[in-house]
Amino acid sequence: MLRRTEPGTLRCGKQLLNLSTPVVMGILNTTPDSFYPESRVSGAADQLLERAEAMLSAGCAILDVGGMSSRPGAEAIPADEELNRVLPAVKAIHRHFPDAIISVDTYRSGVAAECIAAGASMVNDISGGKLDPNMIPMVSSHAVAYVVMHMRGTPADMQQMTDYQAVVPDIIKYFVDRIRVLKRAGVEELVIDPGFGFSKTMAQNYEIIRNLGAFQCLGFPVMIGVSRKSTLSSTIGRPVEETLEATTALHMAALLNGASILRVHDVEAAMDTIAVYRQLSSVNTLNPKVIG
């Protein structure tokens, strides 16, 4: 009932994204306060375009442009300030890389609509449509792809809302409800994001990765965003700048458990992980010819 009619693909506006093998979404933060400083790009178009070109050249399938930090404890900024950060970035990327799939990371329908008009073909909504009642109708009317993430509360208070009866079943129940709402509104092109680090404890984050395969029952591609997050920093006891290897390890675990999209800061490392995963998963690799 909930399964899409074209498994292995995701329609993003006029483009069809092949998800028969995992792909990478590259993070472009136009914020001055995102948790990983190296992911930030200034208002200068040349820096933004240089970063976008490097990501695309490395094999990135989607560029995700965000203008408001969603780190734990982050306060919301005015909508016009968010729009002033992301809209010029979306316009510049679409102008210079017209074939690139651009995602806008926002929970505000007005910001998303302006970015769609400027060339974005995907909306990455941390609230799953719960923080702006106009988001789902807007997505439906524009026929773009929609990432529906799990989060309780808002970034400002979400880490106070980590009490679950059973974290994975509870999140699946949330998605079943969200998918029904979205499908009734006519939104078909969906991606599921369990919300690693959003209203979750460290133990719950790892439980989600261990049980990521359970989300396959929903019938939609699963995206995972673990890149350089504080869970990894806390796990290895080193700052965010030193978490690339830990991120790579968790990316492999996510891929082995069914992730279709990796949302990352470091595109080359993620592409390398996917290449190794594909070899590891190939029949020929697992069943070498016996010479005797």
Catalytic residue IDs: 229, 263
CB 59 within 8 A of CB 119: no
Half-sphere exposure for 107 (CA within 13 Å, toward CB): 21
Longest dimension (CA), the chain: 70
Residue 137 CA to residue 162 CA, distance in Å, equals: 29
Contact 12, 251 (CB under 8 A): no
**Euclidean distance between CA atoms 229 and 239, whole angstroms:** 10
**Where do we find the tokens 């510049």?**
92
Count of CB atoms situated within 10 Å of the CB of 78: 9
- Answer whether 264's CB lies under 8 Å from 251's CB: yes
